[in-house]
Amino acid sequence: MDVDPVDPVDSTDPVDWDGLRAAARGALDKAYAPYSQYPVGAAALADDGRLLTGANIENAAYGVALCAECSLVSALVMSGGGRFTAFACVNALGEAIMPCGRCRQILWEHGGPELLVDTPKGVVPMTEILPQAFGPGDLDHVREATR
């Protein structure tokens, strides 16, 4: 499927994508990846303008490792909450990478369909990353219908 990416250098785009990518690359220094040797840095803008960063934090019990997106969401919640509006994630080479499936769901929860995501193919809305996503609205719909 071809995507129609948003041009990250479009002068009408209020997001400083180069700055967001640089913040994600800066977060790589905080990654703890002794097992995979695959550090990941993430950065996002919150709806109030805050710039937040995160990095992956591995664990000898592999299943309890935290992806960079998890630490990013923790930073969002711990610094006052809100919603993500723009997101970038990079590998050790500074290249844009796609969030894993679990993290796509986490990003949906904290950014929703309008969240813009920097991908290897360009900037796309979250609806292209996780089409027909399950979210809080699905829970509300069932709760209301069963009352």
Residue 60 labeled ligand binder: yes
Percent of all residues in the chain with a pLDDT value above 90, rounded to a whole number: 80
pLDDT of residue 2: 38
Residue 67 labeled ligand binder: yes
Name the CATH superfamily housing domain 17-145: Cytidine Deaminase, domain 2 (3.40.140.10)
Query: What is the amino acid identity at position 113?
Result: P
pLDDT beneath 70: ranges in the chain: 1-12
- Are 119 and 93 in contact by the 8 Å Cβ rule? The answer is no
Residue 62 labeled ligand binder: yes
pLDDT of residue 12: 67
- Intra-chain end-to-end CA distance of the chain, in Å: 41
Residue 103 labeled ligand binder: yes
Task: Say whether 144 is catalytic.
Answer: no
- 25-36 per-position pLDDT tens digit: 999 999 999 999
Q: Comparing C-alpha atoms, which of 134, 131, 117 is closest to residue 45? A: 117
Write the DSSP string, 85-123. EEEEEE-TTS-B-PPPHHHHHHHHHHH-TT-EEEETTEE
pTM (2 d.p.) = 0.87
Phi, psi of 51 (to 5 degrees): -100, 125
pLDDT of residue 53: 98
